[in-house]
Structure formats: C-alpha cells, structure tokens
Amino acid sequence: MNANPVLMQKKYTRVVELFAQKAGLSLDDALKVFYHSDVYDLMSGGVSNMHCMSDIYLADDLLREFNENKH
C-alpha cells in the first residue's frame, strides 16, 4: 500500500522528533539516524504497513535499533 507522500513526510517528522527526545540527540543527528535505519526502510517501503503504527511505537522501535547498533 502506498501512503500519501505529504502525510508520510509529516509522519517522519513526528517520529524523528520523538526519537530525538528519547535518545537525547539533536534533530539533525536524529534525522541522520532515521534515514539510515531499518525503520525508515520498512516505513517508506510500505512493509507490513509500518507507516500505520503509532508515532510512539515507531520512535521506540527506532530507539531500540539505534541502541543495538551502538554496541
């Protein structure tokens, strides 16, 4: 399923802002992490309707991925 591109950009913005707060990162750093993440790949590819998940769920999933990749 393809979501409206404008709505997807707004979704990305909300997820990145939440992730930045949770991870203690600047918005620029959070955005870099997001665009190189599996979460972004799944959302943008429409896999399993990831883009339909809540912003908090996606930010938490991104934080989990970020923490796993730090080690």
Q: What is the pLDDT of residues 8-49, one digit of tens each?
A: 999 999 999 999 999 999 999 999 999 999 999 999 887 778
Are 39 and 65 contacting, i.e. CB atoms less than 8 angstroms apart?
A: yes
Number of domains in the chain: 1
Closest CA to 40 of 6, 2, 12: 12
Domain span including residue 48: 5-70
Verdict on whether the full-model pTM lies above 0.75? yes
The answer, yes or no, to whether residue 1 has pLDDT greater than 70, is no
The answer, yes or no, to whether residue 60 has pLDDT greater than 60, is yes
